[in-house]
Amino acid sequence: MRDEERFGKEVASMTCTRKLLVVFLLGALPVLMPCAAIAQQSKPIGFPDGPGRDLLLGRCFQCHADSMWRDHRQDRRGWEGTLYRMVGRGALWTEDEINTMAGYLAAVYGRPGKPASDK
């Protein structure tokens, strides 16, 4: 087989591979679209307005879904510990941001019967 023929077959093979890749990606698109829509949900369930809400949603929802907090009940100190653990895992938050988020979480997802400001 001559070099030109072999080159032509390699090009044809690459073209076929690219076509298969495009078909696969287009086929996966309908599956991936609902996931993106869920991630872009604008009003998470269970997060009433309050000081720290927008900060929490902007920082924590980069990695976590809103269901992360529904079953957790901690006082302010417990939430601070959780937030500092996230800093240890790479979150880039200031101390003021951690205090604000911990205050919000304690008020909304604090232990029943405990005041939100037990510091």
Write out pLDDT tens, residues 55-71: 999 998 888 887 777 77
* Distance, CA of 55 to CA of 98 (rounded, Å): 10
Supply the pLDDT for residue 7: 61
Write out pLDDT tens, residues 15-45: 656 665 555 555 655 555 554 454 455 566 7
**pLDDT band at residue 72, thresholds of 50, 70 and 90?**
confident
At the topology level, CATH places domain 53-109 in Cytochrome Bc1 Complex; Chain D, domain 2 (1.10.760)
Contacts of 86 (CB under 8 A, 6+ apart): 60, 93
Query: What residues does each domain of the chain span?
Result: 1-40, 53-109
Mean pLDDT of 49-59: 92
* Distance, CA of 25 to CA of 2 (rounded, Å): 35
Write out pLDDT tens, residues 76-115: 999 999 999 999 999 999 999 999 999 999 999 988 775 5
Supply the pLDDT for residue 47: 87
Q: Which token pair is 3? A: 């070099």
Supply the pLDDT for residue 23: 55
